[in-house]
Amino acid sequence: MHLTLEDIMARPAAYRRDLLNTLPGPRGVHLIGTKGYRGTENLAVFSSVVHVGASPPLLGFIMRPLTVPRHTYHHILANEWFTLNTLHPDFLEAGHQTSANYAIGTSEFGATGLTPLYSEACTAPYVQESPVRIGLTLEEEHAIAANGTIFLVGRVREIFVPDDCVADSGHVDHLRLDTLTCAGLDTYYPVGKPTQLGYARPNTQNP
Answer yes or no whether residue 142 interacts with a copy of itself by CB under 8 A: yes
Which residue(s) pair with 171 in the sheet? none
Answer yes or no whether residue 37 interacts with a copy of itself by CB under 8 A: no
Residue span 88-127 as binding mask against a copy of itself, x where in contact by CB under 8 A, dash where not: ----xxx-xxxxxxxx--x----xxx-----x-x------
Answer yes or no whether residue 4 interacts with a copy of itself by CB under 8 A: yes
Element (H, E) at 158: strand 150-160
Do β-strands 81-86 and 27-28 pair in parallel, antiparallel, or remain unpaired?
Answer: unpaired
Of the candidate spans 34-42, 67-75, 170-178, the one that interacts with a copy of itself by CB under 8 A turns out to be 170-178
Closest to 49 in 3D by CA, of 138, 142, 130, 151: 151
Answer yes or no whether residue 21 interacts with a copy of itself by CB under 8 A: yes
Per-residue 3-state assignment (H helix, E strand, C coil) for 74-143: HHHHHHCEEEEEECCHHHHHHHHHCCCCCCCCCCHHHHHCCCEECCCCCCCCEECCCCCEEEEEEEEEEE
Answer yes or no whether residue 138 interacts with a copy of itself by CB under 8 A: no
Answer yes or no whether residue 83 interacts with a copy of itself by CB under 8 A: no
Nearer to a copy of itself, 39 or 56 (CB): 56
Answer yes or no whether residue 144 interacts with a copy of itself by CB under 8 A: yes
